[in-house]
Structure 1
């Protein structure tokens, strides 16, 4: 993800991010590590009726039908306390999942770029192939069962920046 794109989002969504914070967050994502809770997990099942109340989630960017590059990112909003709602929480219970291509990632709090006003950016570690894709953001319970009521989905068209093909 290039710094101008993040600065655009920061300007658009009202952030107080500094260049130092951007560099640190980008470095954390560039190493492509899938440890510390950023595990790959196929999405399966749904949380039962006993699922607890969860804070709302909303995808702000990209919008449905957007044409995007092969390095995916998602901007989302939630009033939830991310230090307790990610895989890096002291006790993992309800936690965030971000999914594309059937692979569900469970980021730690340190893998989210905070924009302010309850808004966050998540950068996918690895590029995706061109074509139609769905991006999903949702809560799962401690057993990784999807809490259906929290599911937010946008469909995008990934284009290869070099060839302009989808």
Structure 2
């Protein structure tokens, strides 16, 4: 498989990392790294809260084993409440940005796209590799995701 970009390829473990490597997280006031990190924090908060709904195979298990994804124990109720409040604050910010923005951020950062996907991101990366014009729908989605991630930083 052809490399996505010239950065740290260990970042390609998720969709937000692949978007960062491909140079798709450009924003006039926020760094691409800050947007990537905001997306990963959202992922961690979401799946810490909804851990019992998470898939249990392959890369997810490896990430959980390395502490990237952490389950909450019963003895950690106060911490769980703080994490839930932090998640709810971020989701409220995304709601304020509009439905399309929230859906784009969820697709890029929360949905389980560890090795490939979402399809719109794959199309954008492929267009970058081929030095071709991206399709309008995929471009609209990454622009919406960048707006939402910038609002979270």
Q: TM (normalized to structure 1)? A: 0.28
Structure showing the higher helix proportion among its residues: 2
Name the structure, 1 or 2, with higher relative contact order (CA <8 Å, separation 6+): 2
Provide TM-score, normalisation by structure 2. Answer: 0.29
